[in-house]
Amino acid sequence: MTSITKRTIATVAIVASLALGAPVAALAGTTSTTTTTTTIVTKTPVITTLKQWRAANKLYLAKLKVINLSFLAAVATAEMNLSASIGGATNATERISARATYRFAITEATIARSNALTVLGKPPAKPGHKTAETTTTF
């Protein structure tokens, strides 16, 4: 695994832990005991024919391709900005700042891709397969 991949994964893990840990830390000092739980159950649309499945699968793959191309474009932009910043840097502080900005851009692109993939969901089920139930609890 390359160094940048390790750094990106570590950065995403840190951002996720901070994002999930901050609300918990904020609620740690409160004494309120009211809890509201909301459960949302959604079913994927039932596909009865292979023709419908092919159309749904084609649409799913097209959306997946857009998500991946958007991610690759964000990474390419970050790399281009890094090379421009490093080329114009006159001291170590500017180079460090440019690399930090690059890592942040990569992390943001990774988070955006992950969120888009979560919203996209699972691929459509073929006809005759059991429909998937998705349960989300808040």
- Taking CA atoms, 138 is separated from 19, 22, 33, 59, 116, in Å, by 16, 17, 16, 29, 19
Q: How far apart are CA 74 and CA 122, in angstroms?
A: 24
The structural domains of the chain, with segments of one domain joined by +, span 37-137
Give the predicted TM-score (pTM) of the model. Answer: 0.60
- pLDDT digit string, tens, across residues 37-83: 666 665 556 778 899 999 999 999 999 999 999 999 999 999 999 99
DSSP alpha helices (H): ranges in 28-135? 50-88, 92-120
* Dihedral Cα 42, 46, 50, 53, nearest 10 deg: -30
Higher pLDDT, 19 or 3: 3
- pLDDT digit string, tens, across residues 25-39: 444 444 555 556 666
Count of Cβ atoms closer than 10 Å to residue 106 Cβ: 22
